[in-house]
């Protein structure tokens, strides 16, 4: 007998939460449930009861689940790209296949191949007051895990932590982003094909559903998103002392050191910044460059961006901004920076003008933006790149350290010792 393929997931209908369960052979059926908080609590209670009733899944069962998940994703890779493209209103297909599909499949394969070693108990030395006791670390499932995923990579940033939690033997409640509803619905169908309902559920809805999920007595909660929302999630979860992992964003600097080739720096930063139109948590958020290199760097960046994207409006490789609210936010950054005296350089290689009708925003370089400008205070998450001049590497390091620790830091230097010095004197990471 093959594995039973079923899953539970939820959709918003007005103020209610509807829970659907799909059997591998049966047609989908929908059960209307009033009161989303009560239904989420019941779902969590059912999963916890199942985790206490049944032993942790053995290696073979976990691999079967991962194989089923990987197979369902691989079979729908083109549909995944279609749904994400529709949610964005235009998403680079090769970027989607790379960052959403291939990355997820490779992460599942990695977990599967290392799972036996990860599950193996490890001995630990015992200090003499505790002898003759023996100590071992025995890996095991935490229980019921909640995952709240972001919109910028709506498939991979939902499914990679989901697959990791499944590999660890947990039961999972996953909430995809409401800003990518087509992708969220497809995730629910994929989970429904691959996993039994007592193992995993997908709940969809807005911020209220995410808040309700974070208030559940989960055994662990994993959140990817902004620091502002992360603080709210942490506050909600603290009532139950739920352990929380926050994968947050930040303003990640790219430091150009003296003597590093400008054309190489410009090519690499332009590619990293404009992948997914800058809607990436580890995208370079701003550049720190020697003061005398700012002008030639602007020219090099303009040339590199024009080579990457000779046109924007009908270019399928230049991704749209996820929704009108984020377009408005990015335009507000530009207006605020101009009002504060920044030089804003719009890069429109084909002279296409405003791109509002296709919900795209042309790349822009910002020079001399003051520290109090919004674009220098908030994570950008778009195709805007401020350039800050510095005098001496110590000044660049001081600039980074005067701000909250970024998620990533990029140092472009051919001097390995200087790179190590920068890394030792700065902090970065989630």
Which residues are marked as active site?
247, 281
Q: Is residue 365 within 8 Å of 295, Cβ to Cβ?
A: no
Which residue shows structure tokens 């530009």?
334
Q: Which two tokens stand for residue 260?
A: 């590093």
Q: From CA 176, how far away is CA 158, in angstroms rounded?
A: 6
| Burial (CB count <10 Å: 0-12, 13-18, 19+), residue 144 | buried
| Of 176, 186, 199, the residue nearest 62 (C-alpha) | 199
User: DSSP letter string over 143-200?
Assistant: SEEEEE--SSSTTHHHHHHHHHHHHTT-EEEEE--TTSHHHHHHHHHHHHHHS-TTTE
DSSP single-letter state for residue 92: -
Q: How far are the Cα atoms of 4, 49, 112 from residue 190, in angstroms, in the given order?
A: 14, 25, 18
Q: Say how far apart CA 118 and CA 17 lie, in whole Å.
A: 37
Query: Tell me, what DSSP letter sits at residue 406?
Result: P
Which structure tokens are listed for 14?
């007005």
Please, which residues have CB within 8 angstroms of residue 114's CB and are 6 or more apart in sequence? none
Contact (CB, 8 A) for 340 and 257: no
CB 176 within 8 A of CB 183: yes
In 267-368, the DSSP E strands lie at 286-290, 343-346, 364-367
DSSP state for residue 414 in the 8-state scheme? S
Spatial separation of the C-alpha atoms in residues 114 and 131, rounded to whole Å: 32
């Amino acid at each position: 007998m093959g594995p039973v393929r079923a899953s539970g997931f939820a959709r918003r209908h007005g103020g209610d939460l509807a829970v659907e369960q799909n059997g591998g052979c049966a047609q989908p059926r929908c059960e209307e449930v009033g009161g989303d908080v009560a239904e989420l609590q019941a779902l969590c209670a059912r999963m916890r009861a199942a985790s206490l009733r049944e032993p942790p899944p053995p290696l073979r069962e976990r691999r079967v689940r991962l194989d089923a998940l990987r197979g369902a994703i691989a079979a729908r890779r083109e549909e995944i790209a279609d749904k994400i493209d529709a949610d964005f209103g235009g998403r680079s297909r090769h970027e989607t296949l790379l960052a959403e599909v291939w990355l997820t499949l490779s992460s599942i394969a990695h977990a599967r191949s290392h799972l036996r070693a990860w599950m193996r108990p490890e001995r630990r030395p015992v200090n003499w007051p505790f002898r003759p006791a023996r100590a071992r670390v025995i890996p095991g499932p935490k229980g019921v895990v909640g995952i709240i995923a972001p919109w910028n990579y709506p498939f991979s940033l939902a499914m990679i932590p989901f697959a990791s939690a499944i590999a660890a033997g947990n039961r999972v409640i996953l909430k995809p982003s409401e800003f990518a509803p087509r992708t969220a619905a497809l995730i629910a169908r994929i989970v429904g094909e691959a996993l039994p309902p007592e193992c995993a559920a997908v709940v969809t809805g807005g911020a209220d559903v995410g808040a309700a999920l974070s208030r559940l007595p989960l055994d662990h909660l994993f959140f990817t998103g902004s620091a502002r929302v992360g603080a709210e999630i942490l506050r909600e979860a603290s009532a139950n002392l739920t352990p929380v992992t926050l994968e947050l964003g930040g303003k990640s600097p790219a430091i150009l050191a003296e003597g590093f080739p400008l054309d190489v720096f410009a090519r690499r930063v332009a590619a990293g910044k404009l992948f997914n139109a800058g809607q990436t948590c580890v995208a370079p958020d701003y550049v720190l460059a020697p003061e005398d290199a700012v002008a030639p760097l602007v020219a090099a960046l303009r040339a590199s961006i024009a080579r990457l994207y000779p046109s924007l409006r009908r270019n399928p490789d230049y991704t749209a901004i996820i929704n009108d609210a984020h377009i408005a936010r990015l335009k507000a950054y530009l207006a605020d920076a101009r009002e504060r005296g920044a030089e804003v350089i719009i890069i429109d290689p084909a002279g296409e003008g405003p791109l509002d009708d296709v919900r795209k925003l042309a790349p822009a370089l910002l020079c001399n933006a003051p520290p109090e400008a919004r674009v220098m205070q908030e994570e950008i998450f778009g195709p805007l790149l401020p350039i800050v001049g510095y005098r001496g590497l110590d000044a660049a390091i001081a600039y980074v350290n005067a701000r909250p620790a970024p998620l990533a830091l990029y140092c472009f230097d051919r001097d390995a010792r200087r790179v190590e010095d920068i890394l030792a004197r700065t902090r970065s990471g989630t």
